[in-house]
Amino acid sequence: MSVRVKICGITSPAQATMAQDAGADALGLVIYPKSSRHVDIQKATEIRAVIGPQTTAVVLLVNADEATVRRVITEVKPDLIQFHGDETPAFCQQFGFPFIRAIRMREGLDIDAEVSAYKAEGGFLFDAWSEDQYGGTGHQFDWSRLPSSRDYPLILAGGLTPDNVASAVTTVRPEMVDVSGGVESSPGVKDPAKVQSFISNAKQA
């Protein structure tokens, strides 16, 4: 079975339609005001309306408060929440809603401890570490740090592009690859040719 592809940072219904037509398996909507790909809850709801049942709708949140998470679940109705900040296991689990836990690959990280603490049904997304940025850095980390055997879905992110995604898939063998800036013409604007190329190269690897 080929790797699944998530296109993150979708900012309009037209982009969502384009990415789905190109074969994306999942789309990510970023509700985080400090992101260049931020959409508010109303806009996220409009985008969600064009995401078909064959595509997984994911809302990415960074250190949102409990009320915001509940609003997203109720109003946007995603399939998964992606907790991408410093949220504790207890915070993520209190909603009884399936989630992806993002793990930023800082030095000295104990991956096994993170995985056992969060128990994320949607899997674990591994991204590059940045002191002041929660994702979307465009930087790649050392893939050899990832465990080769695991019992959870692994989502690979961080600096992926149409040029390196095939290598990423064959090296890491993730269940899903996640891209945002690597398929853009400018922040928040997806390039249809790059999206198509990324998905094709990932699936053929």
Measured at the CA of 142, the angle between CA 118 and CA 60, to 5 degrees, comes to 40
* pTM of the complete model: 0.94
Both tokens of 114, joined, read 């993170």
The whole-number pLDDT of residue 139 equals 73
- Give the C-alpha separation, 62 to 34, whole Å: 9
Q: Look at residue 69 in the predicted model and tell me its pLDDT.
A: 98
Residue 111 burial (CB count, 10 A)? 15
**Res 134 pLDDT > 60:** no
CB 20 within 8 A of CB 51: yes
Catalytic: which of 25, 92, 127, 178? 127
User: Residue 153 class from Cβ within 10 Å (0-12 exposed, 13-18 middle, 19+ buried)?
Assistant: middle
**pLDDT of amino acid 120:** 95
| Alpha-carbon dihedral 58, 51, 197, 142, rounded to 10 degrees | 0
Position 60 scores a pLDDT of: 97
What pLDDT is recorded for position 145? 86
Domain count, the chain: 1
Among residues 8, 25, 92, 178, the one annotated as catalytic is 8
Q: Which CATH number belongs to the domain containing residue 199 in this structure?
A: 3.20.20.70
Is 8 catalytic? The answer is yes
Predicted confidence at residue 131, as pLDDT, reads: 60
Residues in a beta bridge with 76 = none
Residue 86: active-site member:
no
What is the Cα–Cα distance from 203 to 22, expressed in whole angstroms? 12
pLDDT 10s digits, 156-185: 999 999 999 999 999 999 999 999 999 999
Q: Is 93 helix (H, G, I), strand (E, B) or coil?
A: helix
| Main-chain phi, psi angles of 14, to 5 degrees | -65, -40
Asked if 157 and 179 touch (Cβ cutoff 8 Å), the reply is yes
At 149 the pLDDT is 85
pLDDT in tens, 60-114: 999 999 999 999 999 999 999 999 999 999 999 999 999 999 998 887 788 999 9
Question: What tens digit of pLDDT does each residue of 7-62 get?
Answer: 999 999 999 999 999 999 999 999 999 999 999 999 999 999 999 999 999 999 99
Domain hosting 128: range is 4-204
Q: What percentage of residues in the chain have a pLDDT greater than 90?
A: 82
